[in-house]
Copies of this chain bind each other. A is one copy, B any other.
Amino acid sequence: MTQPATATTRRTPLSRDRVLRAAVDVADAHGVDGVTMRSVGESLGVEGMALYRHVAGKDELLDGLVSTVLEEVTAAATDLPTSVDHGEDWRPVARALMLRAREVLLQHPWAPALIATRGTTGGVTLPWYEQLCGILFSAGFSDDLVHHALHALGSRALGFSTELFAADSPAEEDPATAVERVRELTATMPNIGRVVASMTHDATGTLGGCDDQAEFEFGLDVVLDGLEARRASGAGA
């Protein structure tokens, strides 16, 4: 049962980087609550106490988790443009940068919430912001408007939240109970009832079927269009 790791694996010395990568794997598999000094150690074939050689403690390990994921975000953007040509629409380029960030974060569903608990992201996101700045400046943004855009887009890309709106619609729901639920809702909350009713009329016919990706892109386009309007009109704020 106690399968000893191969000699090679056993001998590979621990390092801060290996610890953090192992912790990310544990979080991906068991959520952030599953990340324990002992569990991360076990996934490395080592006692949990051995980790203290390479990270100061649990808190720094969690910070490291955030940094590791955000480095992944930054790395995933390196094959995207860092500027636009004169007269070129900057929005598709910034859009791609934003969607790429989202792709990475969706692979680590625990990450946005953990990022939110940390006060800051440290410096690891700077290259990503530098890239975004490059795109915006080359498109003719003013200093102030770039600053505002960094806040508006940065919080959207790195701190996006999913499904706050959902009112616990059970994954598998009987159509009859769904209709009944809409009826109840409509009785006391006519406006929400109207929205939900319009959703049930769509192709799928299912309730609570919000397309997170589509909603993210809608909100993103609203922001991109709004920033472009302000750039074109020369408004600093």
Contact A225 B215 (CB under 8 A): no
Interface residues of A in 133-161 (CB under 8 A from B): 133-134, 137, 143-144, 146-148, 150-152, 154-155, 158-161
Q: Which of B120, B147, B192, B198 contacts A166 (CB 8 A)?
A: B120
Question: Residue on B with the closest CB to A219?
Answer: B152
User: Which of the segments A1-9, A18-26, A84-92, A108-116 contacts the partner chain?
Assistant: A108-116
Hey, which chain B residues are within 8 Å of A189, CB to CB? 126-127, 130, 133
How far is it, in angstroms, between the C-alpha of A162 and the C-alpha of B115 when the chains are bound?
A: 11
How far is it, in angstroms, between the C-alpha of A198 and the C-alpha of B150 when the chains are bound?
A: 14
Contact A215 B151 (CB under 8 A): yes
Hey, which chain B residues are within 8 Å of A199, CB to CB? 147
How far is it, in angstroms, between the C-alpha of A117 and the C-alpha of B112 when the chains are bound?
A: 9
Hey, which chain B residues are within 8 Å of A230, CB to CB? 222
Contact A133 B194 (CB under 8 A): yes
How far is it, in angstroms, between the C-alpha of A195 and the C-alpha of B131 when the chains are bound?
A: 13
